[in-house]
Chains A and B, each alone.
Chain A
Amino acid sequence: MKTVRLLVGTTKGVFFLRASAARTAWEVEGPHLAGRAIYSLAHDGRAGRQRVWAGAASMHWGAVLVPTDDWGRTWDEPQEANVKFPADSGLALKQIWQIAPGRADEPDTLHCGVDPAALFRTSDGGKTWEVVRGLLDHPHRERWQPGGGGLCLHTIVSDPANAERMWIAISSGGVYRTTDGGRTWTARNAGIRAEFMPEKYPEFGQCVHKIVQHPSRAGRLFAQNHWGLYRSDDAGDSWQDIARGVPSDFGFAMTIHPHEPDTVYIIPIESDMVRVPPDGKLRVYRTRNAGRSWEALTRGLPQRGAYDIVLRDALTTDSLEAAGIYFGTRNGRLYASKDSGGSWRLAIDGLPSITCVRAVVVDDRKPARRPAPRRAARR
Chain B
Amino acid sequence: MRVVFLIPTPLRPFADGRSRIEIDVAKDPPALGDALEALWESAPGVRDRVVTEQGEVRPHVNVFIGTESSRWTGGLATPIADGAEIAIFPAISGGVC
Contacts and interface: CB of A to CB of B under 8 A. Distances in A.
Interface of A: 58-62, 64, 77-81, 84-87, 90-93, 377, 379
Contact of A92 (B14, B44, B47, B53): B53
A91 B52 CA distance: 9
Nearest to A92: B52
Most chain A Cβ neighbours within 10 Å, of B45, B90, B93:
B45
Nearest to B11: A61
Interface residues of B, number: 21
B52 A79 contact: no
Contacts, number: 56
B65 to A, nearest CB: 19
A90 B61 contact: no
Given A61-B49, A90-B54, A77 B13 contact: yes
B54 A80 contact: no
A170 B91 CA distance: 31
B18 interface: no
B96 A79 contact: no
A122 B54 CA distance: 21
Contacts of A90: 54
A148 to B, nearest CB: 14
A60 B45 contact: no
B60 A59 contact: yes
Which 9 A-B pairs give the minimum distances between C-beta atoms? A92-B52, A81-B48, A61-B49, A79-B45, A377-B13, A84-B53, A60-B90, A60-B60, A92-B54
A60 B14 contact: no
A62 B58 contact: yes
Contacts of B10: 58, 60-61
A69 B12 CA distance: 24
5 contacts: A59-B96, A61-B11, A62-B49, A85-B54, A93-B53
A60 B90 CA distance: 6
A91 B54 CA distance: 7
Nearest to B55: A87
Contacts of B96: 59
A92 B49 contact: no
B41 interface: no
Contacts of A77: 13
A151 B53 CA distance: 18
A277 B6 CA distance: 49
Nearest to A61: B49
B4 to A, nearest CB: 21
Given A62-B58, A379-B13, 8 more contacts: A58-B49, A60-B60, A60-B61, A60-B90, A60-B93, A77-B13, A79-B44, A80-B47
A93 B52 contact: yes
Most chain A Cβ neighbours within 10 Å, of B10, B53, B58:
B53
B56 interface: yes
A331 to B, nearest CB: 14
Contacts of A64: 48
Most chain A Cβ neighbours within 10 Å, of B11, B54, B93:
B54
A315 B60 CA distance: 31
A81 B54 CA distance: 13
A55 to B, nearest CB: 15
B17 to A, nearest CB: 10
B60 A92 contact: no
Contacts of A61: 10-11, 49-50, 58, 61, 90
Contacts of A79: 14, 44-45
Contacts of A91: 54
B46 to A, nearest CB: 9
